[in-house]
Every structure is written in structure tokens, then in C-alpha cells.
Amino acid sequence: MSPGRADLVVRNGTVVSPDSMRLADIAIRDGRFVAIADRGALDLRALGLEGVEEVDASGLHLLPGVIDGHVHFREPGLEHKEDWASGSQAAVMGGVTCVLEMPNTVPPTDSAENVRDKQRLAEGRSWVDFGLFGLLARGGLERMRPMAEAGVIGFKCFLGETTGALPAPDDEELLSALREAASLGLRVGFHAEDRAIIAPLVEAAQAAGRTDALAHAETRPIEAEVAAIAHACRLAADARAAIHIHHLSSIAGLSAVEAWRVQGVDITAEVTPHHSLLSTDDVERLGGITRVNPPLRPPGEGAALVAALAAGDIEMVASDHAPHTRAEKSGRDVWQVSPGFSGVEILLPLLLAAVQEGRLTLSDVVRLTSHGPARAWAIYPGKGAIAVGSDADLTLVDLSREGVIDQDRLHGKESVTPFHGRQTVGTPVITILGGRVVMLEGQLVGGPAGRMVRP
């Protein structure tokens, strides 16, 4: 048996897939599903599983382990905000079994050596399995193949970062990089905001003395997202590369994605809970804590994004878990507030609340949090399915259990979130990683057994 992986039987739960629900018993051997049978029909003797530990999932729904395709666990280099232990503990408490982690750490994950260093850091400390993004920045072309060999899940390119710390390649280099990614069979994810549109607006707002939170949202308009998506898609079409749009935030942005999809570009997209469920009304209500890139959008955009999620037009929901300290998330001057906030632990509860409201189905949630990301990032069906042979990662939810999001009780380092105080219905109550229970009724169980996943 591989380390950290176990045998287990889960009985009496309702197994949810992207297109069905079924009462079933599940057998797990050495961390993988070996049988899914009608209730009471498992033959444990034939499976060689007599006497193994059992979980009674009566009244619970079984989802394939939730994959959060966009987290920043901040280690190495920014451990005052989060680290692999705290971030991954927050993940399992929220029913997440696998995260895809971003490369803008210190140092950035921009070479094979730094990929391996981050893997070493995470293995033995992460409570969830993880994939690592490699950074695609200026001058990094020749490091892509070594990073692929080191096992990156894909590449991340920051178009339009205002900090300038991780400058994007120019078009010629980006085209070459996309060709390289295509030859490596890896997808390239984009932070899609056009700096040329944003920079003069920020300058003007600051010159006018604005420091209010809305000024941030207004200076990063939807047109900047649309322009950056078109830019990335034009090059991807040329290079025949597979790309992904992180934290898509607007309907015009989605229309741009769909237009290029029709042209034959292999493009996937993700939406965050905050762009789906919050708006500039919340920016006015809560102030700088809502600062995030792309910014929250005017009312109406989020509801339309949720409808698009339900319609199957967007592949996944991911949290963009981007934690900062309370001090970094406060202050009257929005330009001094760090962009981003915690989210990995509340991703699933927020989606289950949307199920309760009738805006999504439970099968939609499975499609958006396991099946969709696993397929887009080429780890399906090892991840993302309750099927014989797949990794035995499970998220057991109680659809009737109510909760209130309380940032003081979340499990990241400081866990600041604009969803603080929001009521939820539907709660993850058991998290299983590789056949091993790692969260039971809000308590961590066992130890960190997360491993790196590769495409």
C-alpha cells in the first residue's frame, strides 16, 4: 500500500455525478475506488476487504473530492499570509481534497528547481493533494520544458499585473511560449486584464485624490478583461495552444471566450464565488476588504455568471484563495489594501447555498468543482470522478446543515473574507483523501498526506 492511502468502505450515501444521483455503497482499496454497488450489494469478501473500516453516510451526499483550481498558499516566502499547513487545513475543513497552487510565491515557481523545492515543501505538510502551476513570465521560455518535466499542472501568465513584479512576455515571446506549451501538452492560464487600459485610469483616479474602494473597481473596467481575453485568444489560435481564463468576471468576458471557442480555440474558464455572488454594492458596503483583481462588478453580472455556470458554459468554479493579514486588508486608502482574500474553505458551502436557493443543482456543483477542473487540467479520471480506478477522494455533505461564515473560525492564518457573516445551508461534514478520513465533523483527523498530482 502506498503511504497515506487506505482501504475503506462507505455505505448508504447518495453518490452524485455530473448527470445522476444514486444510493450506493463504495469500496476503496489502497486509496482507489474498486467497487460502486447498489446499497447492500457489495461483496467485501470477493474484494478482499472484509473487516476494513466503514463510514456510514446515511443522509449524506457523496461528491467526488472537491478540486479548487486556483489557490495561493503563499509558501515559500510569504508565510505571514498563509503556508502549506494552514492553507491545506482550511481546504480539508471546507471539503476540498485537491488544490492547484499558483506560482507567484517568493521565489516564484518559474524553474524546475523551484517546482521541486515547492513540491518538497508541500509534501509532508499538505493535507490535500496538489498541482503546481509554473510561471510564464518574460524571459522564461527555455525553462518551460524543464518545468513540465518537473510535473507542473500548467502555466500561469499574468497579463496586466500592475505591480510589474512578474512582467508578462511580449507578444513574440508569448506566441513562442504558447507553441511550446502546446508541444508539451500543457494548458496556459491567464490573468486577463489589459494593463494599457487600466494604468491611465488608475493614474487619473489617484491624481483626483480618490482613495475609496469603488475607485479600484472603476479603474479596472470590464473592457480591460475583454481586451486581454481577445489578446490571449488571438495568440492561442495562432499557436494552436490550449488556454484557460482564470477568474472570469463578466458576461462580456464570457462572450469573448465563447466567440473564440467557436473559432476552434481550446479555451476553458473559471469563475470565483465572489464574482458570482458579490457586486460593487458590496464594495460600497464593505470598503477596501473587497479589493480584488479583477474587481467586483456592477450588480447583475454575478447573477448572469451563475446562470452561465448552470447552463454549462463555464467549466469550473475556483476560489482564488489569496489570503493576506488583517492589517494588509484594512485601511482607508484602497490603494494601500492588498488585493485578494481567503476562499478555499468556503468555496463549497457557498455553492451548496446556491443549490439550496435553486440556482445550481448538486450535479452542477460536481461538474464545476471536480469533473470540470480535472478535465481541463488533464488529471481526469484519476481525479474528479467516483469511478472504479479513480483516486478515492470524497467530500460528504449534509445538505440540510446550516452555518454562518465566520472569518474568526476559519482555519487559514487570518482568513479575511467579504463573505463574513453570510448564512449558508449545506455543509461538508467528512473529507476523505485517498481512502483516509482527514476531516470528520469539523475536526482534522490523521496527518498531512497530500501528494503532488501531474497532468
The verdict on 414 binding Zn ion (CB under 5 A) reads no
The verdict on 110 binding Zn ion (CB under 5 A) reads no
Choose between 60 and 322: whose C-beta lies nearer to Zn ion.
322
Amino acid present at 202: V
The verdict on 270 binding Zn ion (CB under 5 A) reads no
Q: Judging by DSSP bridges, how do beta strands 188-192 and 154-159 pair with one another?
A: parallel
Amino acid present at 7: D
Choose between 110 and 320: whose C-beta lies nearer to Zn ion.
320
> CA 280 → CA 216, 285, 376, distances in Å?
10, 8, 30
The verdict on 282 binding Zn ion (CB under 5 A) reads no
E strands in 174-288: 188-192, 243-245, 267-271
Helices 84-93 and 112-122, packing angle to 10 deg = 60
Choose between 75 and 320: whose C-beta lies nearer to Zn ion.
320
User: How near is the Cβ of 204 to Zn ion at its closest, in Å?
Assistant: 26
Helix (H) or strand (E) holding 253: helix 251-262
User: How near is the Cβ of 423 to Zn ion at its closest, in Å?
Assistant: 26
User: How near is the Cβ of 323 to Zn ion at its closest, in Å?
Assistant: 11
Binding segment for Zn ion among 41-49, 105-113, 132-140, 315-323 (CB under 5 A)?
Answer: 315-323
Phi-psi region of 417 (alpha: psi -120 to 50; beta: other; left: phi over 0): beta
> CA 18 → CA 63, 269, 398, distances in Å?
10, 18, 18
The verdict on 180 binding Zn ion (CB under 5 A) reads no
Q: Contact 144/187 with Cβ under 8 angstroms?
A: no
Choose between 320 and 364: whose C-beta lies nearer to Zn ion.
320
User: How near is the Cβ of 72 to Zn ion at its closest, in Å?
Assistant: 6
Choose between 93 and 99: whose C-beta lies nearer to Zn ion.
99
Choose between 82 and 320: whose C-beta lies nearer to Zn ion.
320
Helix (H) or strand (E) holding 200: helix 195-207
Binding segment for Zn ion among 88-96, 313-321, 379-387, 424-432 (CB under 5 A)?
Answer: 313-321
Binding segment for Zn ion among 136-144, 318-326, 353-361, 418-426 (CB under 5 A)?
Answer: 318-326
User: How near is the Cβ of 190 to Zn ion at its closest, in Å?
Assistant: 11
The verdict on 320 binding Zn ion (CB under 5 A) reads yes
**Comparing C-alpha atoms, which of 152, 161, 242 is closest to residue 196?**
161
The verdict on 101 binding Zn ion (CB under 5 A) reads no
User: How near is the Cβ of 315 to Zn ion at its closest, in Å?
Assistant: 17
* DSSP category for residue 143: G
The verdict on 82 binding Zn ion (CB under 5 A) reads no
* DSSP category for residue 168: P
Choose between 305 and 318: whose C-beta lies nearer to Zn ion.
318
Binding segment for Zn ion among 84-92, 234-242, 294-302, 317-325 (CB under 5 A)?
Answer: 317-325
User: How near is the Cβ of 199 to Zn ion at its closest, in Å?
Assistant: 20
- As a whole number of Å, the end-to-end CA separation of the chain is 23
User: How near is the Cβ of 299 to Zn ion at its closest, in Å?
Assistant: 24
E strands in 92-165: 96-101, 129-135, 154-159
Binding segment for Zn ion among 4-12, 195-203, 212-220, 319-327 (CB under 5 A)?
Answer: 319-327
Place of cell 521565489: 107
Choose between 260 and 341: whose C-beta lies nearer to Zn ion.
341
Per-residue contact flags (x/-) with Zn ion for residues 361 to 380, judged by CB under 5 A: --------------------
User: How near is the Cβ of 363 to Zn ion at its closest, in Å?
Assistant: 27
Binding residues for Zn ion, total number by CB under 5 A? 1
Which residue's CB comes closest to Zn ion?
Answer: 320
Give the contacts of 217 (CB within 8 A, at least 6 positions apart): 280, 283, 295, 296, 297
**Cell numbers at residue 372, please?**
470540470
Helices 251-262 and 222-239, packing angle to 10 deg = 20
The span from the CA of 400 to the CA of 395, in Å, is 15
Phi, psi of 255 (to 5 degrees): -60, -40
Amino acid present at 321: H
The verdict on 25 binding Zn ion (CB under 5 A) reads no
**Cell numbers at residue 32, please?**
482507489
Choose between 193 and 398: whose C-beta lies nearer to Zn ion.
193
> CA 82 → CA 72, 85, 344, distances in Å?
8, 8, 12
Binding segment for Zn ion among 5-13, 156-164, 230-238, 316-324 (CB under 5 A)?
Answer: 316-324
User: How near is the Cβ of 320 to Zn ion at its closest, in Å?
Assistant: 4
- Which parts of this chain interact with Zn ion (CB under 5 A)? 320
